[in-house]
């Protein structure tokens, strides 16, 4: 079966609408009953598009006018933004802190006075429910990937008039400050939203009643599902994903395929003929214990700790030479509780494919960084293989990469990257002299890298500890189970199952993330009929919530070998 780029979760037709005429009629009905409406929006939502569908006789209060003046905002946010182009510090703000208290109070008084006069009132924009807390509530959401595309196209951040600023700087402001504040606010509102609104596709909105949305997310958290993948070009990107999935011809390449990053991916919900695109993080935020499992939730809170994505360098180039921060460094410098431990599972490989991993025995980190400083200053390019091991890579190899280990994938591979979620924290050390797609030098972080690179991770260590370590766990009835990949220092456990018949799995209290790495198709089945058979195709990543418990994976063609790689949290 072919790779599905728009997987959806289907429900019976419910309280769902599509198109502005139907949604405008619903908004009018809410107005007629309640007299006041708060249309709260996630950052990035085009409030003007929604406002055009509202009754013309309403008093409109726009929250964008109530934000703190830019100078006060910059003072408030400065220590979390930092002066680095990429990295900030994770901020603890509530959305309300971005607003001027006096302006909010004046707007709330204006709303109350208008209501006392019998006038219809609407507050619209991020934080609208702060202005009209007693009004009927509509929530307009926005998946982070769509928000990023809008930022690239010239959208400003919520807390800055920075339409023409560098995208990396805009992303940093969103990632470290705005989006988590918006998530905290959304969670507070979620249980009392009357209508959820999806304006991801400009001019083509859809909506669903609050009760139907809440029931749908509760169901998703208890059955297998896929999030909607997204794909992005890069300076080293390849052509395999374009051919195999297939992807549009527009970009010159596709470097990344984000197949399971719930912080940024969308979740497609079909209510009969009406489709809503919502942030997949909503399932994590509203049903963390059912999705993650009690122990994983107790450890990480409402965060999805496992990431699967593709790195395509077939007919492309080498990734940047890089290293990820140790846990203590990540906490102290960036305010995050864990780090980007990862692994490279080789999904496809050309004959000369390779992975660069670990320092060569006898290389001193000081000598490496001296050479990197010279290269970064415009001197001779770094002779990577004089400092870093080059290992051949073939299909189904699995390389563990604990934080602090120098690494990168070489050209000619499709890597299924299995990692912890803090994906922004990559310290590039050398980028082979390339510019970014924006024409600017790609940022390198030699000071950060120097602080975390572990010199002891040399040739012998790589051979002993992380180079395609495979341990047979069990073998019977056409099924073999192997422990493979991640190092004991990392919190993710990976198991590979080879099978020609059905395989029984048990979540055992931890969410499972799986990918079909061999075979054209398989079906995930419930042992007690709790969910309908769930088909998956080659290279598709899927999530099995902890609440599922025991389940089966059955190959579609039992005459051919199949394989899944499964990740869970060690608990």
Per residue in 453-464, pLDDT tens?
A: 999 999 999 999
Query: Is residue 109 a contact partner of residue 116, using CB atoms and an 8 Å limit?
Result: no
pLDDT of the residue at 486:
81
More confident residue, 1 or 128: 128
Please tell me what DSSP assigns to residue 563.
E
pLDDT of the residue at 337:
87
Q: What is the mean pLDDT of residues 532-557?
A: 97
pLDDT at residue 1 is higher than 80: no
CA distance 557 to 499: 10
| Superfamily of domain covering 470-569 | Jelly Rolls (2.60.120.10)
Question: Could you tell me which of 188, 212, 214, 200 has the C-alpha nearest to residue 26?
Answer: 212
Q: Considering just the CA atoms, what is the radius of gyration of the chain in Å?
A: 25
- Phi and psi based region of residue 539 (left: phi greater than 0; alpha: psi -120 to 50; beta: remaining): left
Q: What is the mean pLDDT of residues 178-191?
A: 98
For 256-269+290-465, which CATH class? mainly beta
* Domain with residues 8-220, CATH architecture: 3-Layer(aba) Sandwich (3.40)
Q: Residue 391: CB partners within 8 Å, gap ≥ 6?
A: 354, 355, 356, 357, 399, 462, 467
pLDDT of the residue at 440:
65
pLDDT at residue 324 is higher than 80: yes
Helix, strand, coil abundance in the chain, percent, nearest 5:
30, 30, 40
Q: How confident is the model at residue 340 (pLDDT cuts 50, 70, 90)?
A: confident
Which of 21-30, 241-250, 430-439 shows the lowest mean pLDDT across its residues? 430-439
CATH 3.40.50 in the chain is located at 8-220
Tokens for 118, please give them: 């019998």
High-pLDDT (> 90) share of the chain, %: 88
pLDDT at residue 3 is higher than 90: yes
Which of 112-116, 127-131, 191-195, 225-229 shows the lowest mean pLDDT across its residues? 112-116
CA distance 398 to 347: 9
Q: Residue 378: CB partners within 8 Å, gap ≥ 6?
A: none
CA distance 110 to 88: 37
How many CB atoms within 10 Å of residue 30? Answer: 18
Per residue, the 3-state secondary structure of 268-286, as one string, reads EEEECCEEEEEECHHHHHH
Looking at the DSSP bridge assignments, the partners of residue 392 are 354
Per residue in 351-370, pLDDT tens?
A: 999 999 999 999 999 999 99
Q: What is the mean pLDDT of residues 370-376?
A: 93
Tokens for 479, please give them: 């099924």
CA distance 445 to 440: 15
Question: Could you tell me which of 515, 458, 457 has the C-alpha nearest to residue 489?
Answer: 457
Distance spanning both ends of the chain, measured CA to CA: 35
Query: Is residue 445 a contact partner of residue 427, using CB atoms and an 8 Å limit?
Result: yes
Q: How confident is the model at residue 74 (pLDDT cuts 50, 70, 90)?
A: very high
CA distance 132 to 110: 10
CA-to-CA dists, residue 195 to 17, 40, 120, 146, angstroms: 10, 11, 18, 21
Question: Could you tell me which of 207, 311, 211, 328 has the C-alpha nearest to residue 269?
Answer: 207
Q: How confident is the model at residue 2 (pLDDT cuts 50, 70, 90)?
A: confident
Q: Residue 340: CB partners within 8 Å, gap ≥ 6?
A: 324, 325, 403, 419, 420, 421, 422, 423, 425, 426
Mean pLDDT, all residues of the chain? 95
Q: Which long-range contacts (CB under 8 A, 24 or more apart) does 76-81 make?
A: 77/159, 77/173, 77/177, 80/176, 80/177, 81/172, 81/173, 81/176, 81/177
How many CB atoms within 10 Å of residue 192? Answer: 11
Q: Residue 122: CB partners within 8 Å, gap ≥ 6?
A: 31, 36, 37, 38, 39, 51, 54, 58, 59, 60, 61, 132, 135
pLDDT at residue 338 is higher than 90: no
pTM: 0.96
pLDDT of the residue at 361:
97
Give the number of residues written for the chain.
Answer: 571
Q: Residue 365: CB partners within 8 Å, gap ≥ 6?
A: 359, 450, 453, 455
Please tell me what DSSP assigns to residue 338.
S
CA distance 459 to 529: 50
CA distance 531 to 489: 35
Query: Is residue 135 a contact partner of residue 43, using CB atoms and an 8 Å limit?
Result: no
Which of 239-248, 423-432, 473-482 shows the lowest mean pLDDT across its residues? 423-432
CA-to-CA dists, residue 84 to 74, 333, 444, 445, 448, angstroms: 15, 12, 11, 10, 12
Chain-centre distance of CA 559, in angstroms? 36
CATH 2.60.120.10 in the chain is located at 256-269+290-465, 470-569
CA distance 79 to 38: 32
More confident residue, 36 or 1: 36
Maximal C-alpha separation, the chain: 81
In a 3-state reduction of DSSP, which class is residue 523?
A: strand
DSSP letters spanning 387-440: HEEEEE--TT-EEEE-TT--EEE-SSEEEEEEEES-TT--EEEE-TTPBPTTSS
Query: Is residue 180 a contact partner of residue 91, using CB atoms and an 8 Å limit?
Result: yes
Tokens for 159, please give them: 């807390």
Q: How confident is the model at residue 26 (pLDDT cuts 50, 70, 90)?
A: very high
Q: What is the mean pLDDT of residues 342-350?
A: 97
How many CB atoms within 10 Å of residue 438? Answer: 11
């Amino acid at each position: 079966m072919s790779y599905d780029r728009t997987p959806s979760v289907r429900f019976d037709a419910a309280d769902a609408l599509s198109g502005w005429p139907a949604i405008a009629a619903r908004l009018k009905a809410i107005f007629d009953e309640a007299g006041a409406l708060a249309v709260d929006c996630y950052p990035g939502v085009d409030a003007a598009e929604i406002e055009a569908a509202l009754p013309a006789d309403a008093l409109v209060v726009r929250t964008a006018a109530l934000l703190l003046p830019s100078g006060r905002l910059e003072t408030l946010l400065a220590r979390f933004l930092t002066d680095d182009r990429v990295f900030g510090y994770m901020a603890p703000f509530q959305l309300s802190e971005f607003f001027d208290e006096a302006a909010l109070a004046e707007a709330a008084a204006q709303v109350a006075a208008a209501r006392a006069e019998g006038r219809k009132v609407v507050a619209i924009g991020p934080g609208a429910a702060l202005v009209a807390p007693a009004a009927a509530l509509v929530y307009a959401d926005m998946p982070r990937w769509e928000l990023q595309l809008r930022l690239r196209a010239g959208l400003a951040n919520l807390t800055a008039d920075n339409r023409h600023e560098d995208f990396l700087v805009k992303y940093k402001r969103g990632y470290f400050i705005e989006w988590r504040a918006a998530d905290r606010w959304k969670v507070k509102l979620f249980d009392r939203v009357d209508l959820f609104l999806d304006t991801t596709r400009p001019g083509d909105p859809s909506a669903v009643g609050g009760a139907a949305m809440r029931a749908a997310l509760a169901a998703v958290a208890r059955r297998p599902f896929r999030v909607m993948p997204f794909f992005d070009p890069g300076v080293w990107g390849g052509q395999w994903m374009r051919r195999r999935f297939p992807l549009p011809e527009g970009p010159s390449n596709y470097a990344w395929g984000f197949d399971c990053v719930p912080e940024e991916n969308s979740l497609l919900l079909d209510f009969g003929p009406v489709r809503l695109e919502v942030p997949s993080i909503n399932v994590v935020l509203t049903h963390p214990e059912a999705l993650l499992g009690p122990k994983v939730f107790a450890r990480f809170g409402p965060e999805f700790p496992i990431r699967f994505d593709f790195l395509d360098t077939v007919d492309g180039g080498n990734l940047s030479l890089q290293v990820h921060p140790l846990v203590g460094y990540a906490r102290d410098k960036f305010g995050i509780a864990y780090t980007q431990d990862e692994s490279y599972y080789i999904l496809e490989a050309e004959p000369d494919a390779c992975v660069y991993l670990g320092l060569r025995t006898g290389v001193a980190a000081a000598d490496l960084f001296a050479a990197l400083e010279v290269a970064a200053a415009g001197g001779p390019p770094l002779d990577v293989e004089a400092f870093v091991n080059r290992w051949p890579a073939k299909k189904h190899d699995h390389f563990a990469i604990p934080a602090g280990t120098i690494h990168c994938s070489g050209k000619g591979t499709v890597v299924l990257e299995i990692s912890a979620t803090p994906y922004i924290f990559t310290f590039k050390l050398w980028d082979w002299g390339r510019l970014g797609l924006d024409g600017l030098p790609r940022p390198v972080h030699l000071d950060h890298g120097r602080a975390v690179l572990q010199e002891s991770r040399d040739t012998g260590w790589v051979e002993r500890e992380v180079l395609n370590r495979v341990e047979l766990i069990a073998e019977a009835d056409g099924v073999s189970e192997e422990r493979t990949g991640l190092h004991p220092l990392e919190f993710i456990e990976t198991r590979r199952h080879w099978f020609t018949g059905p395989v029984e799995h048990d979540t055992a209290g931890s969410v499972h993330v799986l990918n079909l790495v061999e075979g054209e198709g398989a079906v995930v089945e419930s042992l007690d009929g709790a969910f309908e058979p769930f088909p998956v195709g080659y290279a598709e990543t899927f999530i099995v919530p902890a609440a599922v418990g025991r389940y089966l994976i059955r190959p579609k063609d039992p005459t051919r070998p199949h394989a899944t790689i499964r990740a869970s949290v060690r608990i």
